[in-house]
Chains A and B, each alone.
Chain A
Amino acid sequence: MSSLMREMGARALRLGIPLSVQLDLTYRCNERCVHCYLDHDDHGEMTTAEILDLLGQMAEAGVFFLTLSGGEIFMRQDFFEILEHARKLMFCVKLKSNAVMVRAAGAERLRDLAIDSVQVSIYSHRAEVHDGITKLPGSLKRSLEGARLLVGKGVKVIFANVLMRQNLADYQGVRALASEMGAEFRIDPTITPMMDGDRSILSLGIDQSALREVFRNEDLVGNVEEFCAPPKGPMTAEDALDTVPCSAGHTACYVSPYGDVYPCVQFPLPSGSVRRTRFVDIWRHSPELNEVRSISLGDLQGCSQCVHQDGCTRCPGLAYMEGNMRGPSIQDCEKSFARTGVPSVNLQSKKSSTPGLVQIRLIPTAARVTSPAYS
């Protein structure tokens, strides 16, 4: 991460600014991915007017990074009206889509609106595997056509490759496809439990030995020795008390298509509704968000004494879905173990074999421009 980006994040944390928001516009989708954690029925999505008003509220609250996701965003007829308003308000907009519905005219509009990027889910370079996961025949072909149109128009495209047992052998193929097309590539072995708490889809995740292999692929992680270095913790109790576990609820939050606010898309702790309360008031005064903010590393059961504190990517949302937001996220303990070979404190006391969480990506460079400071 660039120093300027870190500085902005630190300032937002200090001032309590919601720098990043993911807004899901719909849970409706044209695919039925086997690992999806959403219910795709429409239970009363926000109207166009409600969303445009919400965008204004979020801009006033200081939101800079806005991720529009779903469901499939292009299922909303008013998608471009929403996007145009978001860009008029000068959000840095990132989109998540399967790109199946992207056509040349749409790709051009996205380019003209100067969005940051479109993340497209590609599970395999082989149609039988990708389509088998999405349950939409022809979806790989159509997603790649859409992605190609976007890249051709100069829009930054990122292939997101969720690793599962079904497509474990294919990530190199997807990576090669991304490279050939001029797209970025991200790999993510995290399977998220269903929003209703059903954890059955976690069985789709890859096992420890596969995860260990992924973490030792220098094409993916760079310097393997550094990435898989033994942990150096635990930190002092004083430092642990000052360390924030994650940006969820601190500088980031999530809003569902129904206007419900949560600390993160992976942290389904209901914290208010923008249909009843202004966004900024939920952000500042929600007891749930304030409780999330009150938790430091020093409060976490097991983690406060764990050697993995520095390199751990513990997700408080996954911990919450495991039953305790102050408890462990065993998926992340598993990941730390696969990476370093050293079991975490919580793993030693709680055996599990679920997969971990990682996102590997390139961070753009940053620069600073100033003019003379007059007194």
Chain B
Amino acid sequence: MSSYVARSRQVAARMVGGEMMIMSGRDSSLFSLNETASAIWQAADGVTPLEQIVEQRICAEFDVEPAAALHDAEELVSDLASHGILVVSDSPIAEPGTPPKEQT
């Protein structure tokens, strides 16, 4: 079964010097996502299945086996969800938070 991921609306986020900084609305904890985690978080629109995000945003950009990449992505998503940064569902999710743009 496909899983769908959406950016939580309960966080604050900004790209600061190429690194995605995210503050949890739950307890004001601050998180920093590396490049691959940022790519997944930004693509988490609630309607694109995780497998497709991994294929389009990770495998197409980085030198990694699809199965290994999906496994890593599932672990990451589970970790982010446990911190309230991502929402995970078996069905599409409406109205995710808007991803911040890189500053101009």
Contact = CB atoms under 8 A, between A and B. Distances in A.
B62 A114 contact: no
Contacts of A59: 14, 100-101
Contacts of A92: 12, 23
B1 interface: no
Contacts of B91: none
B17 A373 contact: no
A328 B90 CA distance: 61
Contacts of A176: none
B9 to A, nearest CB: 7
Given A64-B14, A116-B12, A373 B103 contact: no
A372 B58 CA distance: 11
Contact of B36 (A19, A116, A280, A372): A372
A366 B21 CA distance: 11
A64 B17 CA distance: 12
B84 to A, nearest CB: 10
A272 B73 CA distance: 45
A370 interface: yes
Given A17-B103, A60-B103, A371-B36, A366 B30 contact: yes
Nearest to A364: B28
B16 A11 contact: yes
Nearest to B75: A371
A302 interface: no
Contacts, number: 119
A191 interface: no
Contacts of A17: 16-17, 103
A19, A116, A156, A366: which has the most chain B beta carbons within 10 Å?
Answer: A366
A90 B83 CA distance: 17
Nearest to A11: B17
Contacts of A365: 29
A8, A366, A372: which has the most chain B beta carbons within 10 Å?
Answer: A372
The size class of the interface chain A forms with chain B is: 35 or more
Nearest to B13: A90
Nearest to B79: A369
A61 B17 contact: no
Contact of A367 (B30, B72, B73): B30
Contacts of A364: 27-30
Contact of B72 (A19, A87, A156, A372): A372
A373 to B, nearest CB: 6
B10 interface: yes
Contact of B12 (A7, A93, A369, A373): A93
B12 A370 contact: no
A370 B98 contact: no
B34 interface: yes
Contacts of B13: 90
Nearest to A90: B13
A365 B30 CA distance: 8
Interface in B31-87: 31-37, 40, 58, 62-64, 69, 72-73, 75-76, 79-80, 83, 85
17 contacts: A8-B21, A59-B100, A60-B104, A64-B21, A90-B14, A90-B99, A93-B12, A114-B9, A114-B11, A116-B12, A364-B29, A370-B34, A370-B37, A371-B33, A371-B34, A374-B64, A375-B62
Interface of A: 2, 4-5, 7-8, 11-12, 14-15, 17, 19, 59-64, 87-93, 114, 116-117, 156, 280, 364-375
